């Protein structure tokens, strides 16, 4: 690749050096300066219409829109001069003259850029004395509701549907102050990625039906995570209120999901909130499964597994760490997993981004670690072998196959009906309740953190498995998931050289990832 020409300029007194062709707005970001903006979004083509990002460029006769002006060598840019502030104050006042100011009942309140910038730079009052325009709210189909009175016509939603989803179902209708976002009667936002417009909307004009009136933004706790619902591994924020996940939203990662996530993944979070959990370790006694302490349960499990060839029926929702520890448990046995499938749904405007056919977070990791992907989950279970059910729900599993097992240990969040004959049940946290890594379909190892607290006496899977290995007399001394990962990295060549620190929150490919991550997706920017 040819050497990129760099351009040097000064923004707010700071020296900035950026590649030729960079916009002033993006250049300012590199210096830690946020130029207020609405219509600009790094994942969308530039529109330059909100006129909020006006900045003063020395020797230029007019204020320049930072989003649509590329840097020039030696340029001196001022973001906070009186002239620029006055222009932005003007834009804010104009955006608010017809705005209902219904923040107390608006879902966006607390995470609204109109609120934020108005507090930051706007007027304290309005000089508008005329009647405000009114348009009724409209159901746009899919997960989306449109409240035109709050709309600032930034057109991010229209550009997303046109240029990223390649499904132009939205338009700007009418013109002048009558303009609003429109759609065609009977043509809804049914595109599998349509709900991204809700995230993109900088104000409360596009709302999620799913999230409607569920929480105020400031009541939410947020955890950086990975969407567990397919092998793409979109980076997300899991947002909880009162320990319940109420929303998943994409977290930008240009290598994986750009700024987006699909509707299916986004809305498929309720399973992580389910209440039908095993909350206590259990050990079988004469009359059935009985509550036990963790110490009792771990030693009971070690006792029944000791010296046995172990077959692990795993879930591909488990982390690399847990799957790795499970391989340590096999004692000459093997493991397998199943994966739910659905229709693939790509996002046309972003390279290599799709809701994938395989609907689990860690298929790549499971296969890399030696688990066999199969439809016949227990096919590898030998007569009399010990069976460890790890996160698998055993749905539709033939009871006769299960009866081949000499003993059954369940390490799961939920106790499968068919595994009620288990010798020991060890309750573990689900995906949202623990920390770990998963490997996406392109071999990218990505960290996820704990979003909610696990119920009852439930423990993280890596901790339970570590303790169990210790009880079996194997070397095990893990206090943190990062230590498990370090062990994995030193054991398995694919993970060699990786650590939690180096992976960070954008992920890194495994050593032998297909084409070494070079096929990473890139958001389609300006056409």
Partner 1 sequence: MGFPHQPHPRETTVLSKYFGDADARTLDGWKKRGGYKALEKALGMAPADIVNVVKESGLRGRGGAGFPTGLKWSFMKPGDGKPHYLCCNADESEPGTFKDRELMRWTPHALVEGCAIGAYAIGAETAYIYIRGEFTEPLYWMEKAVKEAYAAGIIGKNAMGSGKRIDVHVHKGAGAYICGEETALMNSLEGRRGNPRIKPPFPAVSGVFGMPTTINNVETLIAAAPILLNGADWYKKMCLSNPKSTGTKLFSVCGNVVRPGTYEVVMGFPFREFLYDLCGGPLHGRKFKAVIPGGASVPIQTMDEAEATLMDYEGFVEKGSMLGSGGVIVIDDAQPMVTVIARIARFFAHESCAQCTQCREGTAWTTKILERIRDGEGTMEDLDTLMDIAEQMTGKTICVLSDSCAVPVVSGINKFRNEFEALIQGRRFHPVNAAVA
Partner 2 sequence: MTPELVGGLESPDYASHDHDAHEPYAPVFTGDVRRELDELLGRYPNKMAALLPALWIVQRERGWVPEEGMVEVAELLELTPAYVKGVVTFYTMYHQHPVGKYFIQVCTTSPCGICGAEDVVKAFLRHTNAGELGVTSPDGKFTVIEVECLGACGFATPVMVNEEFVESMTPDKVPDLLARLT
Count the Cβ atoms, other than its own, within 10 Å of residue 116: 14
51 binding partner (options partner 2, partner 1, none; Cβ < 5 to 8 Å by kind): partner 1
How far apart CA 527 and CA 71 sit, in angstroms, is: 18
- Is residue 374 within 8 Å of 358, Cβ to Cβ? no
Q: What is the largest CA-CA distance in the chain?
A: 89
Question: In terms of C-beta distances under 8 Å and separation of at least 24 residues, what long-range contacts does 146-149 make, across chains too?
Answer: 146/181, 146/205, 146/206, 146/207, 147/204, 147/205, 147/206, 147/207, 148/180, 148/181, 148/205, 149/98, 149/99, 149/100, 149/102
Give whichever of 44 and 317 is closer to partner 2, judged by the CB atom: 44
Query: Binding to partner 1 (CB under 8 A): which residues in 189-208?
Result: none
Is residue 95 within the footprint of partner 1 (CB under 8 A)?
yes
SS3 labels along 61-75: CCCEECCCCECCCCC
Letters for 23-62 (x = contact with partner 1 by CB under 8 A, - = none) are -----------------------xxxxxxx-x------xx
Give whichever of 54 and 195 is closer to partner 1, judged by the CB atom: 54
Give whichever of 123 and 187 is closer to partner 1, judged by the CB atom: 123
How far apart CA 197 and CA 144 sit, in angstroms, is: 8
Name which of 66, 68, 126 is nearest 98 in CA terms: 126
Give whichever of 158 and 318 is closer to partner 2, judged by the CB atom: 158
Is residue 128 within the footprint of partner 1 (CB under 8 A)?
yes
Token pair 């004009």 is at which residue?
Answer: 205
424 binding partner (options partner 1, partner 2, none; Cβ < 5 to 8 Å by kind): none
Give whichever of 123 and 373 is closer to partner 1, judged by the CB atom: 123
Is residue 174 within the footprint of partner 1 (CB under 8 A)?
yes
323 binding partner (options partner 1, partner 2, none; Cβ < 5 to 8 Å by kind): none
Tell the smallest beta-carbon distance from residue 131 to partner 1 (Å). 8
Q: Which residues bind partner 2 (CB under 8 A)?
A: 167-175, 182-185, 187
Tell the smallest beta-carbon distance from residue 178 to partner 1 (Å). 8
Strands 407-412 and 444-448: unpaired
359 binding partner (options partner 2, partner 1, none; Cβ < 5 to 8 Å by kind): none
Name which of 260, 240, 257 is nearest 249 in CA terms: 260
304 binding partner (options partner 2, partner 1, none; Cβ < 5 to 8 Å by kind): none
Tell me the number of residues near partner 1 by CB under 8 A. Answer: 34
Count the Cβ atoms, other than its own, within 10 Å of residue 1: 3
Give whichever of 14 and 187 is closer to partner 2, judged by the CB atom: 187
Count the Cβ atoms, other than its own, within 10 Å of residue 422: 26
Residues near partner 1 (CB under 8 A) are: 46-52, 54, 61-63, 65, 68, 87, 90-91, 93-95, 97-98, 127-130, 152-153, 172, 174-179
């Amino acid at each position: 690749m040819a050497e990129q020409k760099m351009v040097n300029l000064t923004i707010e007194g700071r020296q900035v050096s950026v590649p030729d062709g960079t916009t002033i707005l993006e250049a300012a970001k590199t210096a830690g300066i946020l130029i207020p903006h609405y219509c600009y979004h790094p994942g969308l083509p530039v529109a330059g219409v909100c006129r909020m990002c006006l900045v003063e460029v020395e020797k230029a006769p007019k204020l320049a829109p930072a989003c649509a002006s590329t840097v020039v060598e030696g340029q001196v840019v001022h973001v906070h001069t009186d002239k620029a502030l006055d222009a932005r104050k003007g834009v804010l006042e104009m955006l608010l003259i017809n705005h209902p100011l219904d923040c107390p009942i608006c879902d966006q309140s607390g995470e609204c850029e109109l609120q934020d910038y108005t507090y930051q730079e706007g007027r304290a009052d309005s000089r508008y004395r005329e009647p405000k325009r009114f348009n009724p709210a409209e159901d746009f189909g899919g997960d989306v509701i449109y409240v035109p009175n709050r709309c600032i016509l930034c057109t991010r939603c229209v550009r997303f549907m046109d240029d990223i989803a390649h499904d132009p179902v939205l338009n700007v209708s009418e013109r002048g102050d009558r303009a609003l976002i429109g759609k065609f009667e009977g043509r809804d936002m049914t595109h599998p990625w349509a709900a991204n417009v809700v995230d993109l909307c900088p104000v409360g004009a596009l709302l999620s039906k799913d999230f409607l009136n569920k929480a105020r933004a400031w009541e939410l706790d947020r955890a950086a995570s990975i969407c567990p619902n397919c092998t793409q591994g979109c980076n997300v924020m899991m947002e909880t209120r009162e320990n319940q996940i109420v929303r998943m939203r994409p977290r930008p990662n240009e290598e994986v999901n750009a700024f987006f996530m699909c509707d299916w993944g986004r809305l498929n979070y309720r399973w992580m909130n389910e209440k039908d959990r095993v909350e206590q370790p259990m050990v079988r006694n004469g009359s059935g499964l009985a509550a036990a302490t963790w110490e009792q349960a771990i030693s009971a499990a070690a006792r029944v597994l000791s010296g046995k060839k172990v077959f692990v029926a795993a879930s591909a929702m488990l982390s690399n760490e847990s799957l790795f520890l499970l391989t340590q448990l096999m004692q000459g046995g093997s493991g397998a997993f199943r994966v739910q499938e659905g229709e693939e749904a790509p996002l046309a405007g972003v390279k290599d981004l799709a809701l994938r056919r395989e609907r689990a977070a860690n298929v790549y990791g499971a296969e890399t670690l030696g688990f066999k992907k199969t439809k016949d989950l227990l096919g590898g279970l030998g007569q009399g072998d010990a069976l460890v059910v790890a996160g698998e729900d055993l749905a539709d599993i033939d009871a006769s196959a299960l009866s081949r097992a000499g003993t059954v240990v369940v390490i799961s969040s939920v106790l499968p009906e068919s595994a009620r004959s288990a010798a020991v049940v060890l309750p573990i946290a689900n995906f949202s309740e623990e920390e770990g890594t998963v490997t996406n379909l392109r071999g990218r190892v990505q960290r996820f953190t704990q979003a909610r607290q696990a119920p009852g006496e439930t423990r993280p899977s890596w901790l339970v498995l570590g303790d169990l290995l210790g009880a079996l007399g194997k070397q095990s001394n893990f206090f943190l998931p990062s230590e498990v990962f370090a062990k994995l990295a030193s054991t398995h060549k694919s993970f060699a050289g990786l650590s939690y620190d180096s992976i960070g929150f954008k992920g890194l490919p495994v050593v032998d990832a297909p084409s070494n991550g070079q096929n990473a997706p890139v958001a389609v920017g300006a056409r």
